[in-house]
Amino acid sequence: MGAQTFKPILVTRSTCRICGSRALSPVVSLGDQYIGGVLASEDGEAFIKRRVPLDLVRCDPSKDENACGLVQMRHTVPPKVLYHKYYYQSGINQSMRDNLAGIAALAESSIELNPGDIALDIGCNDGTLLSSYQTTGLRLLGIDPSDVALMAREKGFKVVNDFFSARAFKSAYPEDKARVITQISMFYDLEDSPCVCGGHRFQFAGGRDLDFGAKLFADHAQDEQF
Ligand SMILES: [Zn+2]
């Protein structure tokens, strides 16, 4: 798989990711850098050989009274580039395993889960969070575009190896709805916020009811820019 597989590998934003304002003012430029997290293949060949600009901009209220003030990257590396060969594994250290187990426990203590209920983890990674549920008989579903998600599948979880969407969910369960949804450190990769997922807007609050009858438990510790 070579670099030519991914086009484009860079998108330049002309509007703010949150409010859509075009008033993006430069904050700092760190020059052209290699894309962190896009690893080389086993033979050592880099998938992405070029550097890309690392520029920070602000949605500038001094230029647009409706601008929201969000500080954000000028450019976007498309998710397909970032996740085709991923490196991070949720279960790789005890502190993260404990953290994810705590989120699953919070979900289980907050709502009544019964055998047959669907628990969806968006960005399930290696399945560590899914494996933390104690309720027996749950239908555990992970949706994740990365190659690491195949580890969750190997653990026996149902996995849709794709980006999250209503279509992706329905490919697994066409008629049913999730009872509980978790997402960990995912919103920072979204181009539009608040995200629209199958026509339903997520609100950024842990445990808030969604209008499709599930509860969302989200860890935003790394999502602060949104
Ligand atoms: Zn804005």
- Distance of CA 99 from the midpoint of ligand 1 (Å): 32
- Distance of CA 218 from the midpoint of ligand 1 (Å): 23
Task: For CATH 3.40.50.150, list the domain ranges present in the chain.
Answer: 90-219
Matching residue, tokens 């555990």: 140
- Distance of CA 23 from the midpoint of ligand 1 (Å): 8
* 3-state secondary structure labels for all residues of the chain: CCHHHCCCCCEECCCCCCCCCCCEEEEEEEEEECCCCCCCCCCCCCCCCCCEEEEEEEECCCCCCCCCCCEEECEECCHHHHHCCCCCCHHHCHHHHHHHHHHHHHHHHHCCCCCCCEEEEECCCCCCCHHHCCCCCCEEEEECCCCCHHHHHHCCCEEECCCCCHHHHHHHCCCCCCCEEEEECCHHHCCCCCCEECCEECCCCCCCECCCCCEEEEECCCCCCC
What are the residues facing 151 on neighbouring strands?
A: none
- Distance of CA 71 from the midpoint of ligand 1 (Å): 8
Phi first, then psi: give them for residue 115, nearest 5 degrees: -50, 135
Please report the pLDDT score of residue 119 as a whole number: 94
Please report the pLDDT score of residue 216 as a whole number: 59
Please report the pLDDT score of residue 226 as a whole number: 29
Please report the pLDDT score of residue 217 as a whole number: 60
Please report the pLDDT score of residue 113 as a whole number: 92
Matching residue, tokens 């999502």: 223
Please report the pLDDT score of residue 215 as a whole number: 56
Mean pLDDT, each 10-residue run in order, the chain (226 residues): 61 92 97 80 76 94 96 89 84 94 92 93 95 96 94 97 89 91 78 51 40 51 36
- Distance of CA 185 from the midpoint of ligand 1 (Å): 21
Please report the pLDDT score of residue 6 as a whole number: 64
Please report the pLDDT score of residue 212 as a whole number: 41
Please report the pLDDT score of residue 68 as a whole number: 94
Please report the pLDDT score of residue 1 as a whole number: 42
- Distance of CA 161 from the midpoint of ligand 1 (Å): 31
Please report the pLDDT score of residue 86 as a whole number: 84
- Distance of CA 60 from the midpoint of ligand 1 (Å): 7
Please report the pLDDT score of residue 63 as a whole number: 97
Q: Assign domain 90-219 to its CATH superfamily.
A: Vaccinia Virus protein VP39 (3.40.50.150)
Please report the pLDDT score of residue 186 as a whole number: 74
